[in-house]
Amino acid sequence: MASESTIACPCCGRESGPPHRNTTFPFCSRGCKLADLGRWLDGAYALDPVSGRLEVVDPDEAEELDPDALH
């Protein structure tokens, strides 16, 4: 019997089941899913405008983005 693969929840590290059995995938729970969304909304996560890579940002140390710098 093939085992179902699991991954670590990106928020808390607990085991998260496969997408067909876990409606909050890749998160282990609704709470972790909402906590991650809150981090995006608070500005703790940001996409680098040049590389497109995810960066974790300390909101207290973040600089204001100059919209003209993107053009």
Span between the terminal Cα atoms of the chain, in Å: 54
pLDDT tens-digit readout, 12-35 = 999 999 999 999 999 999 999 999
Could you tell me if residue 31 is inside a domain? Answer: yes
Bridge partners of 15, per DSSP, are: 8
Could you tell me if residue 65 is inside a domain? Answer: no
Q: Residue 37: which CATH number?
A: 3.30.50.10
Q: How many Cβ atoms are within 10 Å of 48's Cβ, its own excluded?
A: 9
Could you tell me if residue 43 is inside a domain? Answer: yes
Could you tell me if residue 16 is inside a domain? Answer: yes
pLDDT tens-digit readout, 39-63 = 989 888 888 888 888 888 776 665 5
Could you tell me if residue 11 is inside a domain? Answer: yes
Q: Specify whether the CB–CB gap between 16 and 5 falls below 8 A.
A: no
Could you tell me if residue 29 is inside a domain? Answer: yes
Q: Specify whether the CB–CB gap between 24 and 39 falls below 8 A.
A: no
Helix H or strand E segment including 31 = helix 30-42
